[in-house]
Amino acid sequence: MTADALRPNLPPLSLHVPEPRFRPGDAVDFASVEVPPAGAQPRPDTAADPASFHDLAYTLVRVLDDEGRAVGPWDPRLDPDTLRAMLRDMALVRAFDERMFRAQRQGKTSFYMKCTGEEAVAIAATHALSRDDMCFPSYRQQGILIARDYSLVQMMNQIYSNSGDNLQGKQLPIMYSSKEDGFFSISGNLATQYPQAVGWAMASAAKGDTRIAAVWCGEGSTAEGDFHSAMTFATVYKAPVILNVVNNQWAISSFSGFAGAEATTFAARAIGYGMAGLRIDGNDALAVYAATQWAAERARTNQGPTLIEHFTYRAEGHSTSDDPGQYRSAGEPGAWPLGDPIARLKAHLIAIGEWDEERHAAQDREVAERVKAAQKEAEKNGILGHGLHQPLDTLFDGVFEEMPWHLREQRQQMLDEEEASGRPWARKS
């Protein structure tokens, strides 16, 4: 007798397959997205036991209200100069994204990824961190470099993989690296930066240092094993690290439900590990700043790690290789209830009398010209579309401190073959 025959009154098992609410052509209504009033959430003491504020993993910490006012206990009370600096950095990264997107469409590089609509996630967090804290970004946090005044020309050199590229053309465009600026090398392998960040933080603590680490990944990456390994180490050893999950609703063409969003929030993952968890309005620059500042103080005072879910929306395609019109409604970006992070910070500055439309328009023109000038300078070093810009034998550099004999032998064989072919770019100048 089969097992089914022993259970004649039970319905057959079925498998649940998550399905996004809207598909191409659908009308969009985000009424089901709960957006609590700004200022409604309590701000625990940074030394509080994580078990005492579980509710903060299920709501949204918000500071800016619909009139652009900063309200509630999470208001970081920033001075106008800091607010203007964050607004400028967000405007600059958006202008940079626009120009590099066009450069890719013109065949000057192979690939680009914009962070449109998510600028506050990286910019505001970086302003809240100390300059020497170590950042382990994913591929949509170019704002960290912008906020740390990294050279736009150097960023473009890397995108173009040209002769000025500090990484010698060995990384996919937009996968920057700058040790001097506390910016760990971006990897295309999802979530690998999570255990690396926790390990760095553990080392900082073991050495008695005062620097902390911060790491970012998309919500889809929380389904990777590396994410959960990092969470275990972080909570067991109380690593001084901020673990950021950028929930922009889409992991390429897979909506957040495939990573578990239908069951609970991403911030709620912190509860199972016994660490502090916050779910915040990721389009509210002041909320991002306040949450990062709070988590940084916890880390620096040996209270352990914090997981922050930035609830936001990817306004455009995953990358230049993606067409979001194939899998989501065109009405989603405009209907997103948390608005645009640049427009919201701009409205706040205007509301407090520290900004106006004329200065904002002038700033947009100025940052656009700055990006344009940087592009002209970078393109003097070449563009990816024009072929190889690095001497071919640099292929062997940066792997071993001292090159082993078999690689020296292979390099020489390559150089001999290239010399015989008559190609002039085989050797270093």
CA gap 395, 412 in Å, rounded = 12
Distance linking the first and last C-alpha atoms of the chain: 79
Residues 224, 367 within the same domain: yes
Which residues in the chain land under pLDDT 50? 429
Helices of type H across 119-192: 119-128, 143-147, 152-160
pLDDT of residue 390: 86
pLDDT of residue 59: 98
CATH number of the domain bearing residue 207:
3.40.50.970
- Contact 140/316 with Cβ under 8 angstroms? no
Residues 294, 411 within the same domain: no
Cβ-based neighbours of 126, under 8 Å, separated by 6 or more? 135, 143, 144, 147, 148
Residues 348, 407 within the same domain: no
- Contact 62/99 with Cβ under 8 angstroms? no
Residues 375, 408 within the same domain: no
Query: Which tokens hold the place of 70?
Result: 């900063």
Residue whose C-alpha is closest to residue 159's, from 215, 216, 214, 114: 114
Residue in the structure block whose two tokens are 């590990």: 273
pLDDT of residue 422: 77
Sign of CA dihedral 334, 336, 337, 338: negative
Q: Is residue 70 part of a domain?
A: yes
Q: Is residue 9 part of a domain?
A: no
Residues 286, 400 within the same domain: no
Residues 171, 233 within the same domain: yes
Residues 145, 162 within the same domain: yes
Q: Is residue 212 part of a domain?
A: yes
Q: Is residue 28 part of a domain?
A: no
- The domain of 407 spans 391-421
Residues 309, 404 within the same domain: no
Residues 82, 138 within the same domain: yes
Residues 313, 363 within the same domain: yes
Residues 148, 80 within the same domain: yes
Q: Is residue 33 part of a domain?
A: no
Q: Is residue 406 part of a domain?
A: yes
Q: Is residue 8 part of a domain?
A: no
Residue in the structure block whose two tokens are 């506390």: 182
Which amino acid makes up residue 417?
E
Phi, psi of 311 (to 5 degrees): -85, 110
Collapsed DSSP state (helix, strand, coil) of residue 308: strand
**What pLDDT digit, counting tens, does each position of 19-53 carry?**
999 999 999 999 999 999 999 999 999 999 999 99
Residues 176, 308 within the same domain: yes
Q: What is the pTM of this model?
A: 0.95
Q: Is residue 427 part of a domain?
A: no
pLDDT of residue 429: 46
Q: Per the structure, how many domains does the chain have?
A: 2
- Contact 123/149 with Cβ under 8 angstroms? no
